[in-house]
Amino acid sequence: MRIVSIVGARPQFVKLAVVARAAAAGEIEHITIHTGQHYDHGMSDVFFEELRIAAPKHHLGVGSGSHGIQTGEMLKKLEPVLVSENPDWVVLYGDTNSTLAGAVAASKLGLKTAHVEAGLRSFNRRMPEELNRIAADHLSDLLLCPTETAMQNLRREGLEDRSVLTGDVMYDAFLADSQRAQRENESLRFSWPPKSYALATVHRAENTDEPDRLLGIMRALEQISSELCPVVLPLHPRTRKALADLDWTGQRVVTIEPLSYLQMLLLEKNARMILTDSGGVQKEAYFAQVPCITLRDETEWVETLDNNCNVLAGANETSIIEAAFRSMKAGPWSLLYGSGDAGITIVKLLIAQRNHATPYNPLACQLRIC
């Protein structure tokens, strides 16, 4: 059996690593196509090196552009590669423009398509990611859901027959790699002891492309730095550019280059709190049992909001500061994202459904691949 994974942006490489490892355990041929959506070494190559993922067989080199140009360019370049590889399954991850292009290209060729992290909804159609995930879910043959909430969302959209609850591949990755991060990350020598600093990430278009929102967030981070604890902000290239355009001259927030996955895990685990607009980082905060403040008006990961483990603060300066001061009251945390075997479950499903016209019941699956 041959599986082709299509990826292109940073969070997808982590999810890919989990599926690639499970495929290797099952001795299944697995090929990666990298669209080139993220191309800086620190946004792409370092993840392949660190997570020990085989280099992509095909690199499409698409790069940046408007949504239409970026997605259109991917479609044009994906089609001939998919035709030549003719896989049993095309696997898509998350909600990026690479996911959308992969879903359109593969489904139009009649290839069987599986969507990892299916069923997430923010119910905010102004987010490009929301449109990408709705399209990917409706085009895919097999919808692999991380949570019961995701299953419910797909039920509401009439997609129940194609949906399976697998658990979250990012939880698999967290369990597999956070010990390694602790052991191997000698290179990360920050001067702050554990639980003495806050970690922040900002990259969503709704924040970076709206000066009022970005300034609200940055002012809040400055104040948290001066009144509560130092804030470390690894800067996404989009955010670096937006801050330069605004002539931002904040003094206190410590901005650094984007981090590798293991570095990020280590910094997350040791943080006193995490402030983020990233979906993946919200969950990693939950896995690490670190209080999270989400710099958005809604979240797809609604379970994380229980017990104030995660608090929606939007981009309002006062709300963010208040949430930061209250963050020590978070918890307790529960086990919400499966048992760390989502990758294996997904590969078993792909094997079992290879020739099935109807969805396969994973509970009846007797295959053992590791």
The residues annotated with a catalytic role in the active site are 203
DSSP 118-180: TT---S-TTSHHHHHHHHHHHH-SEEEESSHHHHHHHHHTT-GGGEEE---HHHHHHHHHHHH
Asked if 277 is part of the footprint of ligand UD1 (rule: CB under 6 A), the reply reads no
SS3 21: helix
CB of 97 to ligand UD1, least distance (A): 4
* Helix 10-25 / helix 169-184 crossing angle, nearest 10 deg: 100
Determine the interface stretch with ligand UD1 among 36-44, 156-164, 283-291, 350-358 (rule: CB under 6 A): 36-44
**N-terminal to C-terminal alpha carbon distance within the chain:** 17
Q: What residue has token string 């702050």? A: 192
Residue in this structure with the two tokens 């020590």, named with its chain if needed? 328
DSSP 320-336: HHHHHHHGGG-------
Residues 191-230 as x/- pattern, contact with ligand UD1 by CB under 6 A: ------------x---------------------------
Taking the complex as a whole, the smallest distance from the CB of residue 11 to ligand UD1 amounts, in Å, to: 5
Q: By C-beta, is 202 or 323 nearer to ligand UD1?
A: 202
- Residue 237 binds to ligand UD1 (criterion: CB under 6 A): yes
Q: In the β-sheet with 254-256, what is the strand arrangement from edge to edge? A: 254-256, 231-234, 198-201, 273-276, 292-294, 310-312
Contact by Cβ (8 Å): 166, 338: yes
Smallest separation (angstroms) from ligand UD1 to the CB of 227: 29
* Closer of 9 and 16 to ligand UD1 (Cβ): 9
- Which region among 143-151, 194-202, 236-244, 314-322 touches ligand UD1 (by CB under 6 A)? 236-244
Site string for ligand UD1, 50-79 (x = CB under 6 A): --------------x---------------
Question: Segment contacting ligand UD1 (CB under 6 A): 3-11, 24-32, 160-168, 219-227?
Answer: 3-11
Closest CA to 20 of 35, 8, 7: 7
- How many residues contact ligand UD1, by CB under 6 A? 18
Amino acid at 145: C
- Contact with ligand UD1 (CB under 6 A) among 1, 24, 39, 305: 39
- Residue among 10 and 112 whose Cβ is closer to ligand UD1: 10
Show contacts with ligand UD1 in window 84-143 (CB under 6 A): 95-97, 128-129
- List, in sequence order, the alpha helices (H) in the chain: 10-25, 45-50, 67-85, 97-108, 128-139, 148-156, 169-184, 205-208, 211-227, 237-245, 261-269, 279-287, 317-326, 342-352
Complex with ligand UD1: residue 236 or 269, whichever CB lies closer: 236
Q: Does 269 bind ligand UD1 (CB under 6 A)?
A: no
* 353 makes contact with ligand UD1 (CB under 6 A): no
Q: What is the closest distance, in whole angstroms, from the C-beta atom of residue 163 to ligand UD1 in the complex?
A: 21
Judged by beta carbon, residue 10 or residue 348, the one nearer ligand UD1 is 10
- Verify binding: residue 10, ligand UD1, rule CB under 6 A: yes
Q: How far is the CB of 228 from ligand UD1 (least distance, A)?
A: 27
d(CA 114, CA 97): 16
Of 1, 24, 43, 228, the residue at the interface with ligand UD1 (CB under 6 A) is 43
Distance of CA 8 to the CA centre of its chain: 12
Strands lying side by side in the sheet with 29-34: 58-59, 29-34, 2-7, 89-93, 113-116, 142-145, 163-165
Residues forming the site for ligand UD1 (CB under 6 A) = 9-11, 37-40, 43, 64, 95-97, 128-129, 203, 236-238
